[in-house]
Amino acid sequence: VKIIKRILAVLTVVIITVPVIAISVSLLISSPNSGKEIAEKKGLKHRMAIAHRGASYYAPELTIPAFETARDYGADYLETDVQRTKDGVLINYHDDDLKRTTNVEEIFPGRENDPVGSFTYAELMKLDAGSWFNEAHPERARPGFAGLKIPRFEEYIDSALSDKNNCGILIELKKPEYYPGIEKQILDALRNKGWLDKKYKPVVKVEKITGDLPVQWGLSKQRVILQTFDYESLKILKSLAPEIGRNLLIDDKSIKQYKTFEKMIELAVENESEMGPWGYMAWPWFVRKVHKTDKYFFVWTIDTGLYFRLFTFFGVDGVITNRSDKFLEFLGRELSDTPENILKKYN
Ligand code: G3P
Ligand code: CA
C-alpha cells in the first residue's frame, strides 16, 4: 500500500509539473520559424547571411575586396559603417580613429588618436588600409591587400552589384552625432545612385529556395536598410525617408540609456524599425517579444557553428557575421564561388 501511495504521489507530481514546465517554456521561447511570416510580409528573406564589414575574415574589413568577395560568394547583404571626412566625403570606416586599420602613425605622426572626421579625403587617400590585415593575419595575407584605400560610400554602393550576385546593403550610421546632416547626405547618395528609385531594376537574380517563395534580389523595397545605435538619427531617417527600411541597433550601452529591452522594443515600434540586438541579447524570450511586435530580429556579430545553431534555434532572422560564408553553408546554401578563387587577383 505504501509503495502504491508513493507511486501515486510521484505520478501526481509528474502530471502537474510537466504541463506547467511545458507551458512556461512555450511562453518563454518562440519556435525557430516564428519570424518567417514577418519576414515574408516585409519582403525580407527569413534567414539571411549579412557580411559584417564585408567578408572581413578573408580581406581587410570595409575595403572593396571584402565587399566584392562577400558579394561573389553569395551573401545576402553587405554591412558597412559610414562616417564623413572633414571636407564632407562619405567613407566606409568603423573606428573613431585610424590607428587600428591604417598606417596613420607613419604618415601623420601625432595624429593617430585624432578622430576620422578631422582628416580630409585627400589625407585619407595617403593611408594604407590593407597592410594591417596582412600583419594581423599572416595565414590569410595577400600581397595585393597592401596599399588598399578606404573606399568612398559610393564605391561601396557600387560594389554590391555584379553579374554574379546582387546584394542588399545594410548601412550603419556610425556615431551620427559627430556628423550633423549625414542622414540626408547618405539618402542623397543612395538616390543619386538610383537605389531609392522604385523603378530601379539592377540585374535580378531569382532564387528558388525549396519550399519557399522565389526571392527576387535587387527588386525588393528592402534592398537598402539603414541602421544605427542612435535613436535620434533613426527618427531623422524616418522623417526623411519613411519607406526605407530601418534597424535599431542595441547593445549594453543602449540598455543603460533606455533601461530595459522592452523599452527598446517600444522605440522600435514607435519608429517602425526592425531590431538589431547584440548576440548576448538573443535570448529566446527576447526573440519572442520582438516577433510579437512584428519585428524582424537581426543579431550581431556571431561567427561560429555553435552560435549559428543556437541562435537560429532561438528564432533569430538575420545574422550579421564575419563568416557569412560559413553561415550560408550552415543554411545549406552553396557558395557561388570560393573566397580563395575570388581573391586570387590579390595574390
Ligand atoms: O551590424 C551591427 C554591428 O556592426 C554593430 O557593431 O561595432 O561592428 O559596428 P559594430
Ligand atoms: Ca557596423
CB burial of residue 173 (10 Å; 0-12, 13-18, 19+):
buried
Give pLDDT, residue 24: 65
Give pLDDT, residue 18: 73
- What is the C-alpha separation between 241 and 76, in angstroms, rounded? 23
Give pLDDT, residue 207: 55
Q: Is 249 in the pocket of ligand 1 (CB under 6 A)?
A: yes
Asked if 99 and 128 count as a contact pair (C-beta separation under 8 A), the reply is no
Give pLDDT, residue 162: 86
Cell numbers standing for residue 104: 596613420
Distance from Cα 76 to the centre of ligand 1, integer Å? 17
Closest listed residue to residue 182, CA positions, set 85, 261, 277, 323? 85
β-pair partners for 86: none
- What is the C-alpha separation between 225 and 244, in angstroms, rounded? 7
Q: Is 303 in the pocket of ligand 1 (CB under 6 A)?
A: no
Give pLDDT, residue 16: 80
Atom from ligand 1 closest to the CA of residue 81: 9
β-pair partners for 206: 216
β-pair partners for 168: 77
Identify the residue whose C-alpha is closest to ligand 1 atom 4.
52
CA dihedral 190, 193, 196, 201 (to 10 degrees): -150
Give pLDDT, residue 319: 98
- What is the C-alpha separation between 36 and 112, in angstroms, rounded? 46
Give pLDDT, residue 23: 65
- What is the C-alpha separation between 309 and 328, in angstroms, rounded? 12
Q: Is 172 in the pocket of ligand 1 (CB under 6 A)?
A: yes
Q: Which amino acid, residue 190?
A: L
- What is the C-alpha separation between 288 and 160, in angstroms, rounded? 32
Dump the DSSP string for 198-243. TT--PPPEEE--TTS--EEETTSGGGEEEEES-HHHHHHHHHH-TT
> What Cα–Cα distance (Å) separates residue 320 from each residue in 81, 105, 144, 174, 308?
13, 31, 26, 16, 11
In the block, which residue shows the cell 507511486?
7
β-pair partners for 104: none
- What is the C-alpha separation between 155 and 330, in angstroms, rounded? 30
Question: Which numbered ligand comes closest to the C-alpha of 51?
Answer: 1
Atom from ligand 1 closest to the CA of residue 50: 1
Distance from Cα 284 to the centre of ligand 2, integer Å? 23
Q: E strands along 270-324, which residues? A: 274-277, 298-300, 318-321
- What is the C-alpha separation between 30 and 167, in angstroms, rounded? 29
Residue in 301, 303, 319, 323 to alter for ligand 1 test, most ligand atoms within 8 A of Cβ = 301
pTM beyond 0.85: yes
Give pLDDT, residue 199: 62
Identify the residue whose C-alpha is closest to ligand 1 atom 2.
300
Q: Which amino acid, residue 1?
A: V
pLDDT tens for the 347 residues of the chain, in order: 888 888 888 888 888 887 677 666 665 677 889 999 999 898 888 999 999 999 999 999 999 999 999 999 999 999 999 999 999 999 999 999 999 999 999 999 999 999 999 999 999 999 999 999 999 999 999 999 999 999 999 999 999 988 778 899 999 999 999 999 999 999 999 999 988 876 655 444 555 544 444 444 444 558 899 999 999 999 999 999 998 999 999 999 999 999 999 999 999 999 999 999 999 999 999 999 999 999 999 999 999 999 999 999 999 999 999 999 999 999 999 999 999 999 999 99
Question: Which numbered ligand comes closest to the C-alpha of 320?
Answer: 1
Q: How many residues does the chain have?
A: 347
